[in-house]
């Protein structure tokens, strides 16, 4: 029996679609990828908004330690005035203001400070999205680093980060991604991040993840108004100062948000008022995206489905052809037939 063009395309479309469907079922993962866990020797920061006085010593320390230029946003060219994270600024202090602003760390007629920087996610979306491993999470301590020599400038990390942290330098002929790397060069020298080193009140505190977790629990258990000690620079520095305990909001930002982060926040004002995204899932976005990618691309499923679609479209277009377009696939080009 001769095979017509129409029959061939119809059969090919059906066969490809069926094969793709079978491959999908066969390669579906038994279990979705879970969010990564905090490394055993993870380090990080605790930022306590109620201790921050808005002096911006952390910002100047970050600029000096990372050799970042001043950023003039008001045109006076007198001092560093960044308004948000940028290609020149890894850390920025912002302020919430309401009404008369007479009450610190209160949502009504109050004000509060907030620090914006890389949160060093436990399961970072930027690392998952980077196609060339320019973004890496160090397995030993969980610091999320950036390798400018490997970067191809695709900016997938910028789009993937749920916290809006990575910034691309558009104003230079040799651009790169700008973000806090927890002063990895200082860590290599046995020093702590510059922002924690320079903070006079201990609002930014450095330590191991477990030690910071214990400090968070200690502060959350304090009775508002009672005298309490607060360490500076590191959890175990011994350099403490005393102040009345504040009334913290219940949520510890970064504890579970988007899979959790190694930079966590305490505050007296709800975080939706402090320029931080809220309502993020406990499961990391990287876990969701990688589960989907592995499902679609495992066994070339997605390319197979795409091919099926192309063949189906070609067959649909062929229906408009006349019946005299039918042909015998074994016909000789000159009309004769080849016999076996």
pLDDT in tens, 210-268: 999 999 999 999 999 999 999 999 999 999 999 999 999 999 999 999 999 999 999 99
* Strands 110-116, 103-104: pairing kind: parallel
Phi, psi of 178 (to 5 degrees): -115, 125
- Please give the C-alpha separations between residue 290 and each of 36, 128, 138, 307, in angstroms, as whole numbers: 12, 8, 19, 23
Residue 72 pLDDT: 84
Which residue from 172, 193, 197, 170 is spatially nearest to 181, judged by alpha carbons? 193
- Residues 228-239 as b/e (b if ≥16 CB within 10 A, e otherwise) read bebbbbbbeeee
* Strands 43-48, 263-266: pairing kind: parallel
How does pLDDT run across 176-203, given as a tens digit for each residue? 999 999 999 999 999 999 999 999 999 9
How does pLDDT run across 68-96, given as a tens digit for each residue? 998 988 777 778 889 999 999 999 999 99
Cβ-contact 24, 301 below 8 angstroms: yes
Which residue from 22, 47, 86 is spatially nearest to 274, judged by alpha carbons? 47
Which residue from 269, 266, 234 is spatially nearest to 252, judged by alpha carbons? 266
Strand order in the sheet with 103-104: 92-97, 110-116, 103-104
Residue 301 pLDDT: 55
- 3-state SS, 276-298, equals CCCCCCCCCHHHHHHHHHHHHHH
Cβ-contact 108, 250 below 8 angstroms: no
Residue 32 pLDDT: 75
Q: What is the pTM of this model?
A: 0.79
Average pLDDT over residues 164-174: 95
Chain centroid to Cα 146, Å, comes to 13
Residues in the chain: 340
Q: Between 285-297 and 301-318, two packed helices, what is the crossing angle to 10 degrees?
A: 60
């Amino acid at each position: 029996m001769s095979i017509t063009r129409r029959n061939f395309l119809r059969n090919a479309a059906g066969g490809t679609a069926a094969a793709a469907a079978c491959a999908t079922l066969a390669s579906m993962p038994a279990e979705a990828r879970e969010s990564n866990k905090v490394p055993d020797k993870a380090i990080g920061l605790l930022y306590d908004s109620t201790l921050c006085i808005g002096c911006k010593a952390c910002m100047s320390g970050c600029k000096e330690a990372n050799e970042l230029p001043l950023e003039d946003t008001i045109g006076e060219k007198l001092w560093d005035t960044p308004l948000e994270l940028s290609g020149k600024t890894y850390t920025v202090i912002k302020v919430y203001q309401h009404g008369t602003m007479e009450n610190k760390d209160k949502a009504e007629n109050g004000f509060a400070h907030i620090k914006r920087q890389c949160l060093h996610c436990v399961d970072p979306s930027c690392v998952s999205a980077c196609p060339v491993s320019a973004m890496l999470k160090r397995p030993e301590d969980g610091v999320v680093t950036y390798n400018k020599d490997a970067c191809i400038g695709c900016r997938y990390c910028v789009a993937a980060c749920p916290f809006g942290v990575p910034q691309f330098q558009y104003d230079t002929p040799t651009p790169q991604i700008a973000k806090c790397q927890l002063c990895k060069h200082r860590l290599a020298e046995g020093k702590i991040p510059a922002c924690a080193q320079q903070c006079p009140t201990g609002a930014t505190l450095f330590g191991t993840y477990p030690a910071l977790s214990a400090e968070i629990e200690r502060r959350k258990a304090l009775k508002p108004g009672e005298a309490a000690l607060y360490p500076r620079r590191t959890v175990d520095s011994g350099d403490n100062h005393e102040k009345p305990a504040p009334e913290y909001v219940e949520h510890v930002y970064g504890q579970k948000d988007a899979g959790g982060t190694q930079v966590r926040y305490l505050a007296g004002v709800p975080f939706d008022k402090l320029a931080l995204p809220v309502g993020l899932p406990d499961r990391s976005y990287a876990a969701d995206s990688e589960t989907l990618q592995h499902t679609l691309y495992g066994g070339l499923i997605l390319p197979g489905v795409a091919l099926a679609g192309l063949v189906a479209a070609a067959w649909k277009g062929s229906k408009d052809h006349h019946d005299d377009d039918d042909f015998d696939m074994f016909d000789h080009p000159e009309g004769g037939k080849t016999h076996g």
